[in-house]
Amino acid sequence: MVYVAVKLSYDADVIIAGAGPAGAAAACHLARSGASVILLDRAIFPRDKVCGDFVGPSALVELDSLGVSPMDGYAQTNIARRAALYIVGEELISRPFPEIEGMPSHGRVIPRLSLDQFIVDAARSAGALVMEGCSLANFAAGPDAVAVVAASSNGQLTLRARLLIGADGSSSKVARLMRGSAPPRRDRFIAARAYFANVEGPDDQLDLYFDRSCYPGFYWLFPSGNGEANVGLGMALETWPAHNLTPALMLRRLMRDDAALAARLRNARLLGKIVGWPLMTYNYRLKIVADRVMLIGDAASLINPLNGEGIQYALLSARWAAETLAPCLRDDDFSAWALAPFAARVESEMRYDMALARLIVQFVSNRALTPAWIWASKIIAERARKDANYARTVSGIFAGLLPARDALKVVGGTIGQAARPLASKAVTMALSGPRGWAGPGVDTAPAGFQLAHDAAKDPAGFAEWLKCAAACTMELGSQAAWNAIAGKPNSSSPHPAVLSNRLERLLKHGVSQGPASFAKATPRRRSPGDGPAP
C-alpha cells in the first residue's frame, strides 16, 4: 500500500479576533512578513471605542513603524506636550513631557474612531483580509488546525487556520474559552468617558485630577483639539469599603464639584452620552498561550493598573507576537511550548512593573487611607516643583515613558513614610476593638479612626484587603529577588526589595497573628548608623 501525503488546506495562516489596536497591528506585522491573515471584528469601521484616547510617546513610535504617521488626517490629530496635576481642585504642578532618548517628547489625543481606522487601514495595505461585521462565536484547536466559527448577519461559517490570536478586548471571548473562566473580579477596573465641545484652556495640556470622593482612582481631561476634549474617570472595581456610585454618576459629580475641572467645562457642551467600560489589569497567573492560541493586548489583560495605560501595551504585544511567530510559521509548530517565548517576553517586560503597580493600587484601594494618600500626593507634587529629576520620574511614569519600577523612588520614600505608620497604628486599633480606640492613641489622625471604624464594621472585608495586599507584596518581593539573581536591575534605587520585604513582614504577620505582631513588624526608627535608606 502506498501512502500519499495530503496537504492540509487553511483559510489563512493566522486568524485574529478583534481589530482594535492590538489585533490590527498584529495583522499588519504578520501580513508584512508574508503570512496570510484574516482579521475579524463584529463592528463596521470606522467605529467608536470607549477609551481615554491618549496615545503616549512609546505608542507613537509603534504607530510610526506601522506606517500610520503619513496617513491622511494623522498629522491633524491633537498633540499633547505637557501635563498638569490637580488634587482636590488645586493645581499642584504643570510640566512638559520629559525628554527620553528615542522617543518623541509629546503624545497625541486620538479618538478611537480615528486611531483604530488608521491601524486597520495599515493592516489592509499590508495584505490582511479584514472581515467586518463578523465576530468569533467559538473555536476548537486540534492537532492540525484551529477551527474558528465566525458569526455575521448572514449566518455562521467555519474558518481553518494554523493559529488563532485573541485580540477581542477586556471581555475577550477567546480568553474565556481558552482559560475556561472569566478573569478574577479583583483584576477589574471600571471607567466612564464623555466628549465635550467648547472646552476652555490649553489644547496641548493633559489634566489629571485626584479627589477624595473618587479614590482610589483618577479622572482626566484630555483635549482632542478644536476646543473638544475627552473627559473621563477610572478606578478599581474592588475597593474597601465599596463605592456605592456608578462611574458615570461619580464623573458627573466631579465635573460639578471639582473647581479646576468645572472651570474648563464652564461653557462646555456634552457631545453624546457618558459611557462606561470594564478593563482587566495584568495578572501573571492567567495564561496567555495554549496550543494554537495566543492572547494579546486587552484580551491578555495587558493594562497597567497604576495609570490605566493599554494602547501602548496593545501595540507592543502585537509586535512581540509577530516576532515570536516567525519561527513558528517557518517550522509549522504552534504548540503551547513553541508559543511560550511570547508569554516569557510579556512576563520579562511587564511582570515586575505590574507587580509594583498592583501593590500601589492595592494599598490605595483602602479608602480609609485616602487622606494619607492625598497628603502624600501633595508632598510628591511639592517636591516635583523643586526637583527636576523627581518631576521627570513622576510625569514619565504617568505618560508611559518610564517603567513603573521607577516609582520605587517615590513609593519607597514619600508615600511609604506617609502611609506605613498611619496604617500600622490604625490597624492595631481596629483589631483591638473599641477599648483600644479609647486608650492610648485616641489622637490618631482621622484616617486612622476611619480605618479602625471600617475594620470593626466589616472585619471580613478588611481581612481580605490585607491578604490581597500581602499577596501583592510577596509577588513584588519575589520579582525583585528574581531580577537580582538574574542580574536585571529593578530600578535606579539601590535596594529595590527592601520596601517589599518590610511590607510583607507587616502585612503577613498582621493577618495571621493579630495586633501584637503588627506592632512588632512596624519598622523602627532609623539610627545614624543604619546606612542608606531604600
- Per-residue pLDDT at 128: 98
- Per-residue pLDDT at 518: 33
- Per-residue pLDDT at 512: 41
- Per-residue pLDDT at 308: 73
- Per-residue pLDDT at 484: 57
When comparing pLDDT for 417 and 161, which is higher?
A: 161
Identify the top-confidence range among 188-202, 363-377, 423-437: 188-202
pLDDT band at residue 14 using 50, 70 and 90 as cut-offs: very high
pLDDT band at residue 43 using 50, 70 and 90 as cut-offs: very high
What CA–CA distances, in Å, run from 404 to 233, 309, 408?
Answer: 21, 11, 8
Helix (H, G, I), strand (E, B) or coil at 36: coil
pLDDT band at residue 183 using 50, 70 and 90 as cut-offs: confident
pLDDT at residue 503 greater than cutoff 90: no
Q: What is the pLDDT of residues 69-84, one digit of tens each?
A: 999 999 999 999 998 8
pLDDT band at residue 411 using 50, 70 and 90 as cut-offs: very low
pLDDT band at residue 436 using 50, 70 and 90 as cut-offs: very low
When comparing pLDDT for 491 and 40, which is higher?
A: 40
When comparing pLDDT for 529 and 126, which is higher?
A: 126
- Per-residue pLDDT at 85: 84
Q: Report the range of poorest mean pLDDT among 106-120, 155-169, 172-186.
A: 172-186
Q: Report the range of poorest mean pLDDT among 63-77, 325-339, 405-419, 520-534.
A: 520-534
Spatial neighbors of 433 by CB under 8 A, at least 6 apart, are: 456
Q: What is the pLDDT of residues 355-408, one digit of tens each?
A: 666 666 666 666 666 666 666 667 666 666 666 666 666 666 666 666 555 555
pLDDT at residue 88 greater than cutoff 70: yes
- Per-residue pLDDT at 146: 97
Q: Is the peptide bond before 46 cis (omega within 30 degrees of 0)?
A: yes
- Per-residue pLDDT at 501: 46
pLDDT at residue 4 greater than cutoff 70: no
The cell numbers describing 322, all together, are: 509577530
Helices (H), 127-258: 173-179, 247-257
- Kindly provide the b/e burial profile for residues 289-316, where b requires at least 16 CB atoms within 10 angstroms of the residue's own CB: bbbbbbbbbbbbbbbbbbbbbbbbbbbb
186-280 topology per CATH: D-Amino Acid Oxidase; Chain A, domain 2 (3.30.9)
Average pLDDT, the chain: 78
Contact between 105 and 61 (Cβ < 8 Å) = no
- Per-residue pLDDT at 240: 46
Whether the domain at 12-79+101-184+283-350 and the domain at 186-280 fall into the same CATH topology:
no
% of residues, the chain, pLDDT over 70: 62
Write 273-276 long-range contacts (CB < 8 A, 24+): 273/194, 274/192, 274/193, 274/194, 274/248, 275/50, 275/192, 275/193, 275/194, 275/248, 276/50, 276/190, 276/191, 276/192, 276/193, 276/246, 276/247, 276/248
pLDDT at residue 489 greater than cutoff 70: no
12-79+101-184+283-350 topology per CATH: FAD/NAD(P)-binding domain (3.50.50)
Query: So where are the chain's domains?
Result: 12-79+101-184+283-350, 186-280, 366-530
When comparing pLDDT for 355 and 38, which is higher?
A: 38
Q: Which amino acid is at 209?
A: Y
User: What is the pLDDT averaged over residues 208-228?
Assistant: 87
What is the reported pTM? Answer: 0.77
Contact between 451 and 366 (Cβ < 8 Å) = yes
Identify the top-confidence range among 248-252, 282-286, 466-470: 248-252
Helix (H, G, I), strand (E, B) or coil at 356: helix
pLDDT band at residue 409 using 50, 70 and 90 as cut-offs: low
- Per-residue pLDDT at 497: 40
pLDDT band at residue 210 using 50, 70 and 90 as cut-offs: confident
Q: Report the range of poorest mean pLDDT among 13-17, 136-140, 507-511.
A: 507-511
- Per-residue pLDDT at 54: 94
- Per-residue pLDDT at 348: 83
Q: What is the pLDDT of residues 263-310, one digit of tens each?
A: 999 999 999 999 988 888 888 888 999 999 999 999 998 887 666 778
Residue 37 backbone phi and psi in degrees, to 5:
-135, 135
User: What is the pLDDT averaged over residues 206-222?
Assistant: 85
- Per-residue pLDDT at 238: 62
pLDDT at residue 89 greater than cutoff 50: yes
- Per-residue pLDDT at 211: 83
- Per-residue pLDDT at 246: 81
Q: What is the pLDDT of residues 311-341, one digit of tens each?
A: 999 999 999 999 999 999 999 999 999 999 9
